[in-house]
């Protein structure tokens, strides 16, 4: 209500006096068909916050308030919306339109249906997690995946822990605490999210012994560094970067031979481990776990949720005597894998028994190997849907832009893709990006050259329709 004759102050007084009290709204909410089912604490908090916001707006911008804002029905609607947002999950399903397949910030890998089902089945019931059903006595939680990991990798023994960072820490602590670990300078990597090999090594109590130079390390560098203090020779897969040009690195096979000669264990942190040779599908060479086992590494660690496409986990495979020492380390208890992860991991690993099945059913692999032609089809569908919104302000176009593997896997690889760009006259790409991000479910795209870009490589079929609907809402919201 704007009263032209009133001073702002009088008008504010007038509006403030008309605000109902908290108790009055509580009474009304108790009869409201939606709010009556909201927990009392949430209801009261929503009422208080709604009134507080309105009060602040009356004081700061009274000209934006009129009679309608003080109507009971409007207030109750505001309270309902606030209650709904207070009750919504913080962790929510999010649409990844970035084209980065293994997107660590968006949860890395989506699980295969078989993994989701097995996990759900185990979650709500008791299980034989640590119970040996044949002998009717206590069993080991590691047995659920050990045989499978051995079968797939060719290793003698295996186990799974919380993540690969934990696997590296645990192996270093077991094999080299208080001893020197020889590692090439070119492999002292930092993985996103502040995992630095030198820092993890320090925490394990092992002493880093760097050899070689950033771009070149030779077998003699390792050999010259070996002394009576040496506990381990370590090789780290330089996941997220590549040194090109005048380079030299020692192969795992040669390092393993050196280790045998000096009776020292050789460990490899593979980073993004994987059981399928992706070069046959046109992707760059990423070493497989089997390669590392047959090259002679004594212990190998890798992630469950990078190229493998399973849940967050750290997998350790290698020599039986070494794995026995690792399992006996008290630190293992602090880093252990939980039963839901174990269920998802087991189901994922089973899919790898049949390569075609793994590629068809594990979303990470399927997305990485999706052909450009198929993505172009999805891009066209998305573009069509957006054009059907028939808003003159919207410009929709297709672009040949690459997707990325992400997760520190295949760092230089550009996967040919077909992306959809959208711009909205009168609004920046940043505004559009934030509006999509604020939606339910949130949609995460990327911005390039001041254009909002969406890459359908990482979109599920049903998400195209969700995106079109979200744009429909945004167009209504973002008026000129
Ligand atoms: C990703 C990565 C890690 C950490 O693995 P998480 O599963 O994320 O803990 C360790 N080492 C290398 C080489 C990696 O690429």
Helix (H, G, I), strand (E, B) or coil at 200: helix
Q: How far is 424 from 123, CA to CA, in rounded Å?
A: 45
Q: How far is 227 from 348, CA to CA, in rounded Å?
A: 42
Asked whether residue 290 falls in the same domain as residue 143, the answer is: yes
CA of 37 relative to ligand 1 center, distance in Å: 45
Asked whether residue 284 falls in the same domain as residue 172, the answer is: yes
Asked whether residue 124 falls in the same domain as residue 146, the answer is: yes
Asked whether residue 377 falls in the same domain as residue 318, the answer is: no
Q: How far is 424 from 456, CA to CA, in rounded Å?
A: 20
Q: Count CA atoms closer than 13 A to 98's CA, side-chain side.
A: 18
Q: How far is 437 from 414, CA to CA, in rounded Å?
A: 25
For the stretch 449-461, pLDDT in tens is 999 999 999 999 8
Asked whether residue 144 falls in the same domain as residue 82, the answer is: no
For the stretch 82-129, pLDDT in tens is 999 999 899 999 999 999 999 999 999 999 999 999 999 999 999 999
Asked whether residue 261 falls in the same domain as residue 383, the answer is: no
Question: Average per-residue pLDDT in the chain?
Answer: 93
CA of 409 relative to ligand 1 center, distance in Å: 10
Q: How far is 210 from 215, CA to CA, in rounded Å?
A: 13
Asked whether residue 330 falls in the same domain as residue 411, the answer is: no
For the stretch 241-276, pLDDT in tens is 666 777 788 899 999 999 999 999 999 999 988 999
User: Does pTM surpass 0.85?
Assistant: yes
For a pocket test of ligand 1, which of 169, 195, 302 has the largest count of ligand atoms closer than 8 A to its C-beta? Answer: 195
Range of the domain at 176: 110-361
For the stretch 120-160, pLDDT in tens is 999 999 999 999 999 999 999 999 999 999 999 999 999 99
Last residue of a domain, one of 361, 380, 415: 361
Asked whether residue 25 falls in the same domain as residue 163, the answer is: no
Last residue of a domain, one of 53, 87, 121: 87
Establish whether residue 418 lines the binding site of ligand 1, counting it when its CB lies within 6 angstroms of any ligand atom: no
| 417 DSSP β-pair partners | 401
Establish whether residue 237 lines the binding site of ligand 1, counting it when its CB lies within 6 angstroms of any ligand atom: yes
Asked whether residue 145 falls in the same domain as residue 206, the answer is: yes
pLDDT interval class at 7 (50, 70, 90): low
CA of 304 relative to ligand 1 center, distance in Å: 10
Establish whether residue 274 lines the binding site of ligand 1, counting it when its CB lies within 6 angstroms of any ligand atom: no
For the stretch 55-70, pLDDT in tens is 999 999 888 888 888 8
Counted domains in the chain: 3
Query: Is 2 among the domain residues?
Result: no
Phi, psi dihedrals of residue 298, rounded to the nearest 5°: -85, -30
CATH number, domain with residue 377: 3.90.1150.180
Asked whether residue 218 falls in the same domain as residue 140, the answer is: yes
CATH number, domain with residue 300: 3.40.640.10
Query: Is 3 among the domain residues?
Result: no
Query: Is 452 among the domain residues?
Result: yes
Query: Is 377 among the domain residues?
Result: yes
Last residue of a domain, one of 54, 87, 120: 87
pLDDT interval class at 480 (50, 70, 90): low
Establish whether residue 236 lines the binding site of ligand 1, counting it when its CB lies within 6 angstroms of any ligand atom: yes
Rounded mean pLDDT, 415-442: 96
Asked whether residue 20 falls in the same domain as residue 76, the answer is: yes
Query: Is 325 among the domain residues?
Result: yes
């Amino acid at each position: 209500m704007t009263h032209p004759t009133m001073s702002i102050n009088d008008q504010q007084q007038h509006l403030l006096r008309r605000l109902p009290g908290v108790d009055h709204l509580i009474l009304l909410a108790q009869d409201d068909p939606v709010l009556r089912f909201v927990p009392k604490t949430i209801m009261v908090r929503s009422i208080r916050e709604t009134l507080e916001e309105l009060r602040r707006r009356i004081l700061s911008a009274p000209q934006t308030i009129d009679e309608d804002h003080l109507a009971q029905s409007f207030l109750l609607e505001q309270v309902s919306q606030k209650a709904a947002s207070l009750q919504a999950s913080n962790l929510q399903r999010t649409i990844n339109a970035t084209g980065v397949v293994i997107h660590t910030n968006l949860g890395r890998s989506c699980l295969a249906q078989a993994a989701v089902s097995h996990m759900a089945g185990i979650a709500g019931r008791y299980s034989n997690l640590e119970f040996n059903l044949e002998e009717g006595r206590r069993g080991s939680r590691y047995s659920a995946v050990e045989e499978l990991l051995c079968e797939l990798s060719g290793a003698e023994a295996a186990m799974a822990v919380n993540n690969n960072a934990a696997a590296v820490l645990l192996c270093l602590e077991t094999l080299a605490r208080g001893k020197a670990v020889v590692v090439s300078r070119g492999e002292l990597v930092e993985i996103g999210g502040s995992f630095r090999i030198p820092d993890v090594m320090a925490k394990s109590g092992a002493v880093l012994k760097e050899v070689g130079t950033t771009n070149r390390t030779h077998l003699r560098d390792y050999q010259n560094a070996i002394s009576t203090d040496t506990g381990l020779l370590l090789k780290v897969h330089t996941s997220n970067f590549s040194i090109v040009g005048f380079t030299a690195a020692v192969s795992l096979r040669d390092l393993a031979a050196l280790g045998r000669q000096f009776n020292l264990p050789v460990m490899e942190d593979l980073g993004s481990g994987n059981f399928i040779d992706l070069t046959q599908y046109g992707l760059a060479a990423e070493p497989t776990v089997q390669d590392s086992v047959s090259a002679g590494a004594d212990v190998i660690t890798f992630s469950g949720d990078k190229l493998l496409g399973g849940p967050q986990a750290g997998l350790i495979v290698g020599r039986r005597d070494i794995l026995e020492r690792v399992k006996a380390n008290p630190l293992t208890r602090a880093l252990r894998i939980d039963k839901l992860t174990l269920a998802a991991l087991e189901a994922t690993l089973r899919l790898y028994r049949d390569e075609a099945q793994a590629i068809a059913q594990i979303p990470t692999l399927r997305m990485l190997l999706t052909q450009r032609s198929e993505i172009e089809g999805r891009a066209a569908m998305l573009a069509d849907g957006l054009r059907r919104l028939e808003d003159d302000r919207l410009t929709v176009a297709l672009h040949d832009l690459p997707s990325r593997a992400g997760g520190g896997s295949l760092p230089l690889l550009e996967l040919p893709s077909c992306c959809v760009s959208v711009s909205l006259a009168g609004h920046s790409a940043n505004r559009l990006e934030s509006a999509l991000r604020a939606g339910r479910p949130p949609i995460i795209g990327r911005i390039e050259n001041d254009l909002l870009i969406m890459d359908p490589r990482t979109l599920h079929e049903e998400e195209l329709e969700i995106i079109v609907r979200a744009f429909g809402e945004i167009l209504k919201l973002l008026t000129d």
